[in-house]
Amino acid sequence: MRCEVCGREIRGQPFRRIIEGSRLTVCSQCARFGDEEWTPTPPKPPTKVRGSTGDLSRLEDITLVEDYGRRIREARERMNMTVEELARRIGEKESVVKKLEREELVPSEALVQKLRRILKVELLIREEEGFKISSSKPLEGRRLGDLIKIKEEGAEDTEEERG
C-alpha cells in the first residue's frame, strides 16, 4: 500500500488522517499533516430496485388498453386540465403527453401509475379482456416454438432413415 500524500510504500500500520478535508491513508511521516483520525466504513450491500423484481407471471397477464390515448385525453378534459398542466403534474414534458394522447408513445409502468393517480383512469387490463399492443407486426412467420417443432420433426426423419 502506498501513502496517498507522498507516494512512498507504507511499512507497518497505515495511518488514516483527515488532511485539508480529505480522508487519506498515509505513512507515519505524513500522518503529522492531519489532526483527525477516521475509520473506514464497510461498503453497503447494493439496494434492490423497487418494482423491478417480483412475480413475473402477474406482469405477463397485464397489458395496456388498446385506446389508451383517447382515455388519457378524455380523462384530462373531464378534469378541465390542459396538456401543460397534466405534464407538470406528472413530471413530464408536454410533448410526452401529446404523444401519449396520439398513441405515438407507449407509456412505461411508472408513467401509467402516475396517470392513474392523477387522472383516475385505468390503462392496464388483464390480457384476456383486451388486445395486446406490444407489437404492431402480424404474428406470421416462424417463432421460437416453430423452430423447436421443426427440429423435433427433423430428428424423427433421421431416425426413420436409419431404421
C-alpha cell at 123: 390503462
Percentage of the chain with pLDDT > 90?
A: 37
Do residue 68 and residue 117 come from a single domain?
yes
**CATH number, position 87:** 1.10.260.40
Tally of domains within the chain? 2
What is the DSSP-derived secondary structure letter of residue 102? T
Strand (E) or helix (H) holding 71: helix 68-78
Do residue 10 and residue 63 come from a single domain?
no
Residue 88 has pLDDT above 60, yes or no: yes
Q: Which residues contact 87 (CB under 8 A, 6 or more apart)?
A: 93, 94, 96, 97
Instruction: Write out pLDDT tens, residues 7-29.
Output: 999 888 889 999 988 889 999 88
88 assigned to some structural domain? yes
pLDDT at 56: 42
148 assigned to some structural domain? no
26 assigned to some structural domain? yes
Q: Give the amino acid at 64.
A: L
Compute the average pLDDT of residues 114-119.
92
Q: String of b and e for 75-106 (b: at least 16 CB within 10 Å)?
A: bbeeeebebeebbebbebeeebbebbbeeebe
The rounded mean pLDDT for the chain is 78
Do residue 83 and residue 114 come from a single domain?
yes
Task: List the domain range (segments joined by +) for residue 77.
Answer: 56-126
In whole angstroms, give the CA distance from residue 32 to residue 26. Answer: 10
